[in-house]
Amino acid sequence: MSGFEWSTAADQRFTVNLSILFTELPLLERPAAAAAAGFTAVELWWPWVDAPTPEPSELGALKKAIEDAGVRLTGLNLYAGQLPGPDRGALSIPGEESERFRANVDVAARFAASLGCTALNALYGNRVDGADPAEQDGLALENLVLAARAADRIGAILLVEALNKPESPRYPLVSAPAAVAIVDKVNRASGLGNARFLMDLYHLSMNGEDLPQVISAYADRTGHVQIADSPGRGAPGTGTLPLGELLDQLHKAGYAGWVGLEYKPGDRPSDESFAWLPREARAAR
């Protein structure tokens, strides 16, 4: 696509988010579909929106589907409620939702470890009526430290993500500095140093942030990158973001981690949305 300039972005390692791409297929068919499209790495939101602790048979079936497809699971969201939808995480919400998050942590970590996944993503959670924001922040820190310890036990990092205010007006982390400040708090509180920033270029662009400045300031604090074009959250080349240039800048800044494709394919099968990415660049090196 003409809106995406391909250069040293070819040096990036791409992973496909199977919770937003290939959703025209049942969950257990998506890993094979990603492999058929030429990808060797996938990531997931927590697939069971109503079940932080699903039956072992469900976990086993998904594990088998990933293994049979010959793809690697590179990242997994911890329980975050209904995504996409009104929920934006659970760990800072007092009561049942934070308890569901806590119940999920070890289950998700064990599942991730069984597939060699080394990144867990914890969405912070919305502000809720009747709850003191300071109380929510204290609960969030407690639960993020719990998650950081679980990640450490499996040799993984814990990711903290900024979302965007237009689409998530009650989510408190709607800037790169806000998310990085939480990363710093978690690392101080846990003493582990394994919390990292998840740099989602779509969300940050929707917040009106200076993306080259964000990369310059935080590339060395970043554990994972996700991309979609803006406006519209479509494939690279469907909007106005200079994603090729931004990936080049990340590469030159020393970022060598995964770049997650977390975009909407539009009114077409997902495998038709990858024209911007040469097939030879889809398999992780």
Q: Specify the pTM.
A: 0.95
Within 13 A of 12's CA, how many CA atoms are on the CB side? 29
**What distances in angstroms separate CA 135 from CA 16, 91, 129, one per listed residue?**
36, 12, 12
CATH 3.20.20.70 fits 8-281, yes or no: no
Choosing from 43, 97, 209, 262, the catalytic residue is 262
Question: Which is the catalytic residue, given 135, 161, 167, 209?
Answer: 161
Known catalytic residue at 97: no
φ, ψ dihedrals at 279, nearest 5°: -60, -35
Q: Is 161 a catalytic residue?
A: yes
Chain centroid, CA 178 distance in Å: 17
- What contacts 119, CB < 8 A, 6 or more positions away? 43, 74, 75, 76, 156, 157, 159, 223, 224, 258
Q: For residues 263 and 202, is the Cβ–Cβ distance under 8 A?
A: yes
- Helix, strand, coil share of the chain (percent; to 5): 40, 15, 45
Buried b (16+ CB within 10 A) or exposed e, 179-195: bbebbebbbeebeeebb
Q: pLDDT 10s digit of each residue in the chain, 285 long?
A: 334 665 555 578 999 999 999 999 999 999 999 999 999 999 999 999 999 999 999 999 999 999 999 999 999 999 998 877 777 899 999 999 999 999 999 999 999 999 999 999 999 999 999 999 999 999 999 999 999 999 999 999 999 999 999 999 999 999 999 999 999 999 999 999 999 999 999 999 999 999 999 999 999 999 999 999 999 999 999 999 999 999 999 999 999 999 999 999 999 999 999 999 999 899 987
